[in-house]
A and B are shown apart, each in its own frame.
Chain A
Amino acid sequence: MGNHVHQPDFGTGEKSLGIYSFGILLCVVLTLIPFWAVMHGTFSRGETLVVIFISALLQFLVQVVCFLRLNYSTEQSKMNVLSFYLAILILFVIVGGSLWIMWSLRYNMMH
Chain B
Amino acid sequence: MSSVAVAHHEHHHDTDSIDVFGFWLYILTDCILFASLFATYVVLHHPGAYGPDLKEHISLNYVLVETFALLASNFTFGLAIISMKKNKVQMPLFWLVLTFIFGAIFVGMEVTEFVNLIEEGYSYTTSGAASAFFTLVGTHGLHVSFGLLWILTMIIQIPMFGINQTIKRRMVYLGLFWNFLDIVWIFLFSIVYLMGAM
Taking beta carbons and an 8 Å cutoff, which residues of A are in contact with B?
A: 5, 7-12, 15-17, 20, 24, 27-28, 31, 34-35, 38-39, 45, 48-49, 52-53, 55-56, 59-60, 63-64, 67-68, 75-76, 79-80, 83-84, 86-87, 90-91, 94-95, 97-99, 102, 106
Contacts and interface: CB of A to CB of B under 8 A. Distances in A.
Interface stretch (B25-33, B98-106, B120-128, B139-147): B25-33
Nearest to B43: A102
A1 to B, nearest CB: 15
A106 B46 contact: yes
29 contacts: A8-B13, A10-B20, A10-B172, A11-B20, A12-B20, A12-B176, A15-B81, A15-B82, A16-B82, A17-B79, A20-B78, A20-B82, A27-B71, A31-B189, A34-B190, A35-B67, A38-B60, A39-B60, A45-B198, A68-B179, A76-B14, A79-B21, A83-B24, A84-B28, A86-B28, A91-B32, A91-B35, A97-B39, A102-B46
A71 to B, nearest CB: 13
Looking at chain B, what size class is its interface with the partner chain?
A: 35 or more
A86 B17 CA distance: 19
A63 B176 contact: no
A48 B182 CA distance: 22
A35 B194 contact: yes
Contacts of A84: 28
B42 A98 contact: yes
Contacts of A24: 71, 74-75
Contact of B183 (A31, A63, A94, A99): A63
A67 B198 contact: no
Interface in B147-165: 165
Contacts of B179: 63, 67-68
A10 B13 CA distance: 7
Chief secondary structure at chain B's binding surface: helix
Contacts, number: 127
A55 B172 CA distance: 27
B5 interface: no
Given A52-B194, A63-B183, 11 more contacts: A10-B17, A10-B20, A15-B78, A17-B79, A31-B64, A31-B68, A35-B60, A56-B186, A60-B183, A83-B21, A102-B43
A35 B59 CA distance: 11
